Amino acid sequence: MSQMQIDSVLAQIRSFSHHGAGVARVPGGLGDVAGLGAPGANKAGGAAGVPDFGKLLRQGLDSVNSTQQSATRVADAYERGAPDVDLTQVMLETQKASVSFRGLAEVRNRLVNVYQEIMNMPI
C-alpha cells in the first residue's frame, strides 16, 4: 500500500469520525486511540459522545477483575461452610469469571494482531 493510499484511508476515517459514523476520533494519531497521544490532546471523552478507548479498556479490565474477585469470595465462603452460599452459586460465579477472562484474552489477542498488522505495513 503506497503512502497516498494510506493517507486516503486515514482521511476517510477522519471524515467518518467527524460525521458521527461511529469511528473514534483520532486527533493525535494512532497513539491517541489508546490514550497515549500527544500532550494536550483531548483525553476526557474524545469526540462528542464517543468514549475514550483507553477508558473503555480500563473499565473492561476492572469488570473482569471484580468478577474474578467475586468468584473467589463466594468459593472461599463455600469452603468455610457459610450457610448462605450453595454450590450452584459458586459454580455460576466461577463460570462468569471464566467467560469474562476468556473474553478479555480474546480482545487482547485481537489487539495484538491489529498492532502487528499495523507494524508490518510497508511505508
pLDDT tens per residue, range 6-18: 666 666 666 665 5
Residue with cell 450453595: 86
Domain ranges of the chain: 1-50, 52-123
Its sign, for the CA torsion 105, 108, 109, 110, is positive
For residue 44, what is its C-alpha cell? Answer: 476526557
Q: Are 38 and 30 in contact (CB under 8 A)?
A: no
For 43-87, the pLDDT digits (tens) are 454 556 677 888 888 999 999 999 999 999 999 999 999 999 999
Task: Kindly report the pTM of this predicted structure.
Answer: 0.56
Give the span between the Cα atoms of 55 and 39, in whole angstroms: 17
How far is residue 100's CA from residue 86's CA, in Å, rounded to a whole number? 22
